[in-house]
Structures are given as structure tokens and as C-alpha cells.
Amino acid sequence: MADKQYPLPQLHGVLVLDKPSGPTSTRCLTAIKRLGQKKIGHAGTLDPLAAGVLVVLLGEATKIAPYVMEGEKTYLGALRLGVTTDTYDSEGTVTSQAPWDHVSASALAEAIASWTELTSQEVPPYSAAKHQGRPLYELARKGLAAPVKVKDISVFDARAESVDLPSATFRVRVSAGVYIRSLVHSLGMRLGCGAIMTALTREESRPFALTQAHSLDAVLADPQSLPERIIPLDKALPHWPTTTLGPAAADDVRRGIRVPVTGDFAPGTHALLVDETRLPLALARAEAMGGRLRWAIVRGLFGDPQPARRGGNDAPATNNTP
């Protein structure tokens, strides 16, 4: 196999993958892991049915997962009325069927648009959310009861792209962690006929878009090109400001010492700290201390900061996220 012939060193950065429909996200990551990428993670999984943007984090980039995962997501999806399944999508076992001919095209379009009014949703029983440490899908497959979990959500935009009853396509922009198949399932319940999701493509996981993505087949067919496909860590958070530290300040940050903020930054601002070679040092937050702003480290990179040996305002920052 190509990955055995061309082992690669551990890379550090973001691979925007165009996940195909069918394999699990874990299977996709396992394939890339075999290219020598032992330290690997992702910033938000996709169901097997779903395709599109899967943000793969390599090496030190795995440490920034919480800050990448929090971005808004945009999806293009498809649904069909008149049926429900245990998974809320077309890959599940049918649990009911009902007439849908009382629903007009305009009513379906309005129901999709009304997703923007939702502030919470039920977590699907077949999901990776956990109850007492066990994934819900594991409990569901064994027929074990689990409490219904409800989570807060935000739907910023939702609209029907086309309606051809009993089917429709839609585009939706949501906060992180929203289950699109749950939106479809609840729509079917409100319309009194049931509905399932039949296709889904994640077009954007901000700040990364499908136009930047590389297909899994292309990556595996040419492993030696993987380094060229990686977004380096110092550019992995384009929505964050970057500030360059001199040698002395960089050394302090490596030891966990809060260094003075230079430049025009407001209290609470998050930034990526890099040294003069552009090597990322830490994710930091500007905090007022002793009458001036200092960078409080929220996540060390390329070796977490070591405990400082000074006291006072130079005491080491914690690595807790904000």
C-alpha cells in the first residue's frame, strides 16, 4: 500500500478533508493515520451518510480543537416526507409511514424556514452523545433505555432550495453541535407525516470551506503530497489575530510566564502567540494585571509551557480554556 511505501513524519496543521458519504469519520482518520500521522483528531464529526468538510487536526493542531469546533456550520441537505426511522435518516430502520399529501410545497418551505425559531432540540438516540459514559447509539443498538437529552442550539439561517414533494433540498447555517437530522425529524412531527434526512453535505465549518477541501481518495493516492495540503498551525485560526514575540518574551511564554501585551488589543482578546520564526507558542487571552495587559496562556503549543519560577504578575497562567 502507498502509505507503507511512503511513511511521512508527523505533520502539524489542519487538513480540510472532503469526506465522502459512506465511511465513518473515524475510518477516514484511521486511513490518514496510517500515513504516519499518529497524533490526529478532528473538529466535529460527520455521520456516515454525510459528506463534505471534515476538519482534520494533525500533531500540535489537535490542541486547538475546541477553538476550531466552535465555528458555525453550513449544510446543504435533502429530506423526504412520509416516513420515520430510528436514526432519523435514510440509513435507519423504518419505524412508521404516513400520508404526506396534506402538505403543500409552500407549507414545507415555511416549515424549513421556521427552524430559525428553534432554541433547543432533542439529541438523536443514535448519536455519539453519552449517558453515564456510554454513547447513546450503543444503548440504542442494545435496546437499552436512556433519558432524552435536550441541548441548546442556534439556527442562523434556513431555507428551502427546491421542493419536489414529498422531497425537498435545503440549506441551513447553525451553531456548532446541531444535529441536522433532528431538525428534519422534528419538522416531520410538526407536519404530521414524519420525515427523514436523505442526504447531507457540510459546505462550511468556519473558518474552513468545501472549496479548500481535499478528497480522501486524492490524499491516499499521493501520500507524499500531504504536506502541501496542510494548512500550517500559524494559519489554522485565521479569525484570530497573531502577535509575534521577541526571543525573551517567547522564552517566557514557553515557561508559562504571562508577558506584557504590545499593540492595540482590548482586554479579553484572544490571539495566537508566535516567535520570530513563526513557530506557534500558545493560544492566549489579554488580561489586565497590575495595571497593564498581559497574555494569559489558555493553551500551550509545541510543548506546553513549563511552570515558571517567579511570583507576582509573572506567575504561570493556567491551561484552562476560557
- Active site (catalytic) residues: 47
Contact yes or no for 213/46 (Cβ under 8 A) = no
Nearest to 115 by CA among 50, 181, 172: 172
Instruction: Specify the residue for cell string 437529552.
Output: 149
* DSSP symbols for 43-110: SS---TT-EEEEEEEEGGGGGGHHHHHTS-EEEEEEEEESEEETTSBTTS-EEEE---TT--HHHHHH
Q: What is the Cα–Cα distance from 194 to 98, expressed in whole angstroms?
A: 7
Give the Cα separation of 183 and 120 in Å (integer).
10
Give me Rg for the CA atoms of the chain: 23
SS3 228: helix
Nearest to 2 by CA among 31, 40, 41, 38: 31
d(CA 103, CA 296): 55
Residue with cell 475546541: 66
Q: What Å distances lie between residue 238 and 67, 103, 131, CA to CA?
A: 11, 44, 35
Q: For residues 165 and 81, is the Cβ–Cβ distance under 8 A?
A: yes
